[in-house]
Each structure stands twice: as C-alpha cells, then as structure tokens.
Amino acid sequence: MTVSFSRKGRIPVRSIVKEIWAWISSIAIAFVLTLLIGLFVFQPTKVLGHSMDPTLHNEQRIYVSKLVHTFGYEPKYGDIVIIDSRVERPRSFKDDLLEHPLLELMRGVQDENMYVKRVIGKPGDVIELKEQKVYRNGEPLDEPYINETMQFSAERKWTVPEGSLFVMGDNRNHSKDSRDIGFVPLDHVLGIKL
C-alpha cells in the first residue's frame, strides 16, 4: 500500500477513499466468484451421520462436483451423490443459493435435508430386496462397499419412474434412503462426490 503525504503531513481523503474502494471491490469480486463456483462447479460439504459407513464417515469433509446439477445429467450406477431429501417439494434456484456453504455459514444454519447416498437404480429399473440382497432388473448387485448384510422383514419391489433415481446408503441397516423417502427426482441430485 502506497501512502503519499501532503505538505502538511496529512493523507489526502481521495487516496483513502480510493484504497477503501479497492479493498471493498476485491472482497466483493471474491465473494461473487466463490458463490458462482459453489453453485455451478464444485463445493465442499460435510457428511452428517453414519449412513455411508464404511465408505464415508460422520463429519467427514468431501468435495462435490455440481456439474450433474448444473447441466441436469444423470449420474452413473454406484456414484455417491448429494441429494435434497425433501423429494415431495419442487426445488428452486433460491434453494440452491440458500444451501451454499458460504451463505449457510453467514446465516449460522446447516441444512440437514442434504443426504449423501449411492445411486442404485435409474429410470425404468426394477429394484428388489430379497434374500438379504438388492437386485436390479433381476440381477443381484455386487456390493463390496456395504457395511454389513442387509436385514429386512419383508421382500420389497420398486420400479424407478422416469426422471428419478433410487438411492441407498452403504450402511443399509442404518440408512434413511429411497426405501423411506421414495424416489429422488433428478433435480434433487445436487452433486456427485469427487
């Protein structure tokens, strides 16, 4: 920072204003860029709970690609996705903005409606729970990532509708997922773990 003094030893007001404006505009540009990158490209997030054990752990920080949400493309089988669990309501740009980690930090709020899950079924797939396994279109899934053998009292079957996904946590016996909340609309898929 260069400070020039007038003959009387005072800093000209014009220089001070110019310097303050430079700082404010730099901070504003950094804030806007951080917001845009977090909304459309990638952002950090935190795993809350144990539903993805042993793959991911409670309080673990992960980075998420937002491109799936930005361009509306379908994730692949086995992708770990961040979803908005409020599947009964439509999402808006306002939701995306308010859920940005920077704005959550400023508001002192952490959204607990964001779940981290694995993609099991895509549109048209038939998902079945039987023989303590998950079947997709009649074939048992090879799932080396699950925490333990899944326990359930009755066999169940779903057909994934168009524009939706079926997701499950890796800790099947301790996960609230599509078995409970239902199918996840593609616009509720907020990102894919990098």
Is position 51 annotated as part of the catalytic site?
yes
CB neighbour class for 155 (10 Å; exposed up to 12, middle 13-18, buried from 19): exposed
Is position 46 annotated as part of the catalytic site?
no
- The catalytic residue among 51, 65, 175, 178 is 51
- ∠ CA 169-43-112, nearest 5°, is 45
CA–CA distance, 82 with 64 (Å, rounded to integer): 8
CA–CA distance, 153 with 18 (Å, rounded to integer): 70
Contacts of 46 (CB under 8 A, 6+ apart): 59, 60, 61, 62, 110
CB neighbour class for 43 (10 Å; exposed up to 12, middle 13-18, buried from 19): buried
Of 41, 51, 115, nearest to 83 (Cα)? 115
- The catalytic residue among 65, 85, 117, 193 is 117
| Active site residue ranges | 51, 117
